[in-house]
Amino acid sequence: MSVEEILARMADSGRVPNAIMFSEPDGGPAFRIALGFLQQLYGGDGAQRVARLIHPDVHFIFPVSAPLTSTQLMPQFRELALQNQAFTESELNAALGIEGKSSIIAVAEAREVLGALALSALEGGWRSVVIYLPEKMNPEAANRLLKSIEEPSDRTLFVLISHSPEKVLQTIRSRCQQFQLGDEIKAPDFDSPELLDSLMDALAARDLLRALEEGEKISALPSRENAKAFCKFAADAMRNLFVAQQGLSIPATDSGKAVQWAPRFKKTFPRAAMACFDRAFRLVERNVNMKIIFTDMVNRLSSLT
């Protein structure tokens, strides 16, 4: 099932997480996919205004150069995005007139959008915040937004589009339903799905010793590329598990177990587990000892059951 299909089913069912983060290479498809999802979510006349980036309940935050704000530069952002939804960061900087300048998402941006979210939706439906490059948030801005992402008001959605998800505040990442996009960041196909099946069975049984034994088998994979492929395969399986737990139909997954796992795990498990697998992926890339990585991963997963 494609990312677009998963999002479409979420929108149709109304079972929408309060925060979604797309990870993509620069110039990837995330903005187009995010905008399409919001159009489905708002529907009707609202979808047309979302498409034109003028819906009053959809707010955009992106890196700017002080003392300017996203609101002040929204006309330039809108013009660029309507011409090319796969714009790059450098194209955005050029459109905003800030080439060669340092750009951040400062606390003033967070205050402004939180002020808007404190008001009722002008059209009585969803209120959404699209944050382009959340890795550019300074610590104060990130911490201001964290509370709203942790404890959102009803029918409030945060959509984050990141080129460097490892630089996003970990507590924000862990609260997002995550989707990876773009060939450049895909790991190779994984051809040993039984490793994940066995690990999940051990976790469901709350058998830590057996889960640790499965973690050792994963750490013994023949290469770091194989280990990264496992992490990506597992994260994809958690997305299918999330969909299954929402009562939505999915095609058979590579491991064939998402529907069987659904009643055996808490509904908070898939998103938190994705964060564990993403963390392991990053540690593998950094050449951390494989046994340490996957022992830690199993311990973190066990704490979620």
pLDDT tens for residues 58-96? 999 999 998 889 999 999 999 999 999 999 999 999 999
Cβ-Cβ contacts under 8 Å for 236 (sequence gap 6 or more): 253, 254
**In this structure, what DSSP letter does residue 132 have?**
E
- How far apart are the C-alpha atoms of 35 and 86, rounded to whole Å? 12
* Tokens 């990876």 found at: 180
Instruction: Give the model confidence (pLDDT) of 110-149 as tens digits.
Output: 888 888 888 777 776 899 999 999 999 999 999 988 888 8
Residue with tokens 């905003």: 96
Using 50 as the pLDDT threshold, list the residues of the chain that sit under it: 183-188, 253-255
160 bridge partner residues: 21, 131
pLDDT score for 187: 42
Q: Classify residue 268 as left (phi > 0), alpha (psi -120 to 50) or beta.
A: alpha
pLDDT at 218: 96
Provide the 8-state DSSP code for 124: S
**Residue 167 DSSP class:** G
CA–CA gap between residue 275 and residue 270 (Å, rounded) = 9
CB 116 within 8 A of CB 155: no
Following DSSP, what letter does each residue of 210-259 receive, concatenated? HHHHHHHHHHTSSSHHHHHHHHHHHHHHHHHHHHHHTT---PPPSSS-HH
CA gap 154, 209 in Å, rounded: 41
Task: For the sheet with 127-132, list strands across it.
Answer: 58-61, 127-132, 156-162, 19-23, 177-180
Please say whether the beta carbons of 223 and 191 come within 8 A.
no
Cβ contacts of residue 57 below 8 Å, gap of 6+? 42, 121, 122, 123, 125, 126, 127, 128
Q: Which domains does the chain have, with CATH numbers?
A: 3-185 (3.40.50.300), 194-302 (1.20.272)
Relative orientation angle of helices 3-13 and 30-42, to the nearest 10 degrees: 20
pLDDT for the residue numbered 259: 85
Question: What pTM did the predictor assign?
Answer: 0.67
Among 242, 276, 258, smallest CA distance to 173 is for: 276
The kind and range of the H/E element at 23 are strand 19-23
Q: Tell me, what's the pLDDT at 1?
A: 66
* Whole-number pLDDT of residue 22: 95
